[in-house]
Homo-oligomer: A and B are copies of this chain.
Amino acid sequence: MPKGSTKRRPETITRLLDAALLVFAEAGLRGATIAQVCERAGYTRGAFYSNFDSLEELFFALFDRHADQQLDRLRESLEAGGFEALLAVDEAEVTWYLVSTEFTLHAIRDPAAARRLAEHDARLRATLTGILAGHLARLGRTATVDLDELARLVVALREGSLAQSLVEPDRLPPGHLEQTYLPILLAALSQ
């Protein structure tokens, strides 16, 4: 989590996050440096360290910002009746997919990073379970399986589908598998 806050911090943090995403995507997580992020954001290292302790902390701030945005969009989309939000995959989403998947590979090799990633994943699923429960309730249904496990299943399907779509977007448009099969899956796992 970013350190405390002052009046100008939200904008500083936003600019550092935007810069970091681009630097991570271009240089790779291992190649990225705090100096590169500061240069891209137009800040000194002091501005960085008054907001973050490390590049990993910045990565997780990006993770949480992206998760919040995507989950908000999914909630609105489901309230409007469907999974359309999953079809909108823009360049920023592709960039985030590349950066976050690279971090997952790092976490599989590094137990400390894995623990932090698992914590943030759990927080994401806590929100997602609420969204899924709300969606089922609007359909007059309740899940017949553990909601956290259902959220894991939805995340797995989304990420596995996105991997295939980003390799061949012309043959498998992003969001197609999820939009087609998530309603069927949710119906089969609720009553």
Contact = CB atoms under 8 A, between A and B. Distances in A.
Interface of A: 94, 97-98, 101-102, 104-105, 107-109, 114, 117-118, 121, 149, 152-153, 155-161, 163-164, 166-168, 171-172, 177, 180-181, 184-185, 187-189
The binding surface of chain A is classed by DSSP as helix
Contacts of A155: 160, 164
Contact of A108 (B107, B114, B157, B166): B166
Contacts of A164: 121, 152, 155-156
A181 B153 contact: yes
A109 B94 CA distance: 10
Nearest to A118: B168
Nearest to A98: B105
A182 B164 CA distance: 19
